[in-house]
Structure formats: structure tokens, C-alpha cells
Copies of this chain bind each other. A is one copy, B any other.
């Protein structure tokens, strides 16, 4: 009986220490790490102020078991946290990984998740520096990203009248992917892969993100959607943001093929305005000179914190947690 359980290679049969050993085999060492995983805490000797952020992924709320692709989930968990570090104008350093999963979860699921997390961290020059494992009925992941600043932080409150408003990366692709998944589409079809891939494993534009510090006046990780996130920048900065109708139409054009597949072309604009999870960067800065990789999508004007398109207020329409009452 004991042997059979061990052969199943579940978290329950292996025990915490052996699971940790397997996880650690997928982790590359990082820079500025004085003490890595394996003691009570990690020690990092960072060349600037410390930047920290945390984000969760919860089964049934953020992903469904039937779509579960643990490697891609690892990428997503890393990307959504690393993006918050870049959005502050900071440099990613390390990730701490808290993971709870049912005890009958196969070790391969955890190893693939760790591989994805590690690979995406590496893409940003960061490393996994610590973690915790637990058991629970649903797969729940909480990642904390640690970074450091070389310049002043980029805040949500720094936008000024006459700033250009720019996007690095995409918006609406992950939302299109989500609706495609709900409609039964899966990876393996060239018409829909790019959208589903962005939902399952977003790959934010880190290269452009590294060009933002020193130039951007304000910035935010577009995790909740353009309407919600640019709305926050407008309110916190005390400016109005006027979206450029042509630029928004261009973004909608990118996701139109997915909207057509689902039989509702109007979905394209909804995804672009309100869809989150691509983890593009929304930034404001001098309108006449901007880092390569940014797309101009609007302008900051003197105002009171409104976001408008063609003179119409755009209210936040993003998915927010706990929002059963909408």
C-alpha cells in the first residue's frame, strides 16, 4: 500500500520535504541573492530601494481546472507580478511562491508550474527566492515579486496635462481568449491561439518596460482593463484622459477576428476598453518623444479625473473580484 501511494507521486505521498526538493531542482539562481531558498527567509542585497507587490491566482475564480496548463499558469503567475514591478519603473529581482493544492495533486503539476514561473522570472532577469507549500481543496497561488529602483518610482499620480498616453503591449487579447475558452475553444487553432495564449500565459513587453524609468510621468500595469486602470491614473493625477478614437479603433481591430468567431463584432471594443490580464503598461509622459515600443492612445488634459472617448465618459467596466452585484 505504501509503495503504491509512493508510485502515484502525489503531494500527499511524497511529503513536503521531497516536494520541495523537486521544486528546487527547477529554480535557477539569481543576482543579488545572498541567501536563497532553504532557510527561514531569503536575503537580497539590492542596489536601490526595495519594491514589493503580491497577486493571487485562485482556481475557479482566475482559472478553471479543465483548462489547467500548469506551465502556462506559472508564466501567468510570474508575469502578473513582474508587471507590477516594471509598472513602478523598477527592476525585477525575485519571486516568492506560495502554493496550496489538494494533496492528491500529482507532483508533475507542481514541477511544471515551477518551471513556468522560473522561465518567466528569468525572462525578466529575476529568480525564485523563496516559497511555501500547503494543502487545500482548490489550487491557490500567491506570488510576491521583489524588485528595486534605480530612479524615482513611476506612480499612478504623476500624469500632467499635455502628457501623451501610451500603451506597451496589448489590451483585450486576454479577455478575447477568456471568452473563447468559455465558448469551448482550445489551443491548437491558428485563428484563436494568440488570444487564448495571452489569457493562459501573458507575455508582457518587458523590453519596452525597461525604457520607461526616467521618461514616464505616470504608469500602471493594465491588469484590470484600460477603463479601470487609466481611470485610476486620471483620478489619482487629477487630470482628464481623452482616448484617441483612431488608436482605440486600431486596438479593437486586433481582436476583431476573435469577436467574429464568437458571432458578435461589438465584443472587440468591449474587450479593448474593459478587458484585463494582458498586463500591458499604460503610461503617460512627454507627448513629443517616447520610448520605442509604445503606442500612443490618448492625451492628458486639465480636468477632474475623467476618462473619455469621443466626448463620452468611460466608466470602469473591468472584472473586479467580489462583484456579484453588478
Interface contact A137-B60, CB-CB below 8 Å:
yes
Residue A159 lies at the interface, judged by CB distance under 8 Å to chain B = no
**Docked complex Cα distance between A85 and B41 (Å):** 6
Residue A117 lies at the interface, judged by CB distance under 8 Å to chain B = no
Residue A320 lies at the interface, judged by CB distance under 8 Å to chain B = yes
Residue A242 lies at the interface, judged by CB distance under 8 Å to chain B = no
What residue in chain B is nearest A318 (Cβ atoms)? B16
6 nearest A-B pairs in the assembled complex, by CB-CB distance: A142-B142, A41-B53, A12-B324, A98-B142, A144-B144, A58-B136
Q: Which residues of chain B are within 8 angstroms of A58 by Cβ–Cβ distance?
A: 100, 134-136, 140
Q: Which residues of chain B are within 8 angstroms of A88 by Cβ–Cβ distance?
A: 35, 39-41, 43
Interface contact B84-A40, CB-CB below 8 Å:
yes
Q: Which residues of chain B are within 8 angstroms of A157 by Cβ–Cβ distance?
A: 39
Chain B nearest CB from A66 CB (Å) reads 16
What residue in chain B is nearest A220 (Cβ atoms)? B40
Q: With A41-B87, A153-B43, A155-B35 in contact, do A323 and B61 touch (Cβ < 8 Å)?
A: no
Which of B51, B61, B144 is in CB contact (< 8 Å) with A136?
B61
Interface contact B147-A41, CB-CB below 8 Å:
yes
Residue A146 lies at the interface, judged by CB distance under 8 Å to chain B = yes
Q: Which residues of chain B are within 8 angstroms of A84 by Cβ–Cβ distance?
A: 40-41
**Docked complex Cα distance between A19 and B157 (Å):** 21
Contact indicator per residue, chain A 135-167, by CB within 8 Å of chain B (1) or not (0): 111101010111101000101110000000000
Number of interface residues of A (CB under 8 A): 80
Which of B42, B90, B137, B322 is in CB contact (< 8 Å) with A52?
B42
Which of B39, B51, B96, B322 is in CB contact (< 8 Å) with A11?
B322
Q: With A56-B100, A134-B56 in contact, do A34 and B49 touch (Cβ < 8 Å)?
A: yes
**Docked complex Cα distance between A142 and B97 (Å):** 10
Q: With A34-B153, A52-B129, A136-B60 in contact, do A41 and B90 touch (Cβ < 8 Å)?
A: yes
Q: Which residues of chain B are within 8 angstroms of A153 by Cβ–Cβ distance?
A: 34-35, 39, 43
Q: Which residues of chain B are within 8 angstroms of A60 by Cβ–Cβ distance?
A: 136-137
Interface contact A142-B149, CB-CB below 8 Å:
no
- Given A40-B53, A40-B88, A57-B134, output 8 extra A-B contacts at Cβ < 8 Å: A15-B320, A34-B49, A40-B84, A41-B53, A43-B88, A56-B140, A60-B136, A142-B144
Chain B nearest CB from A241 CB (Å) reads 17
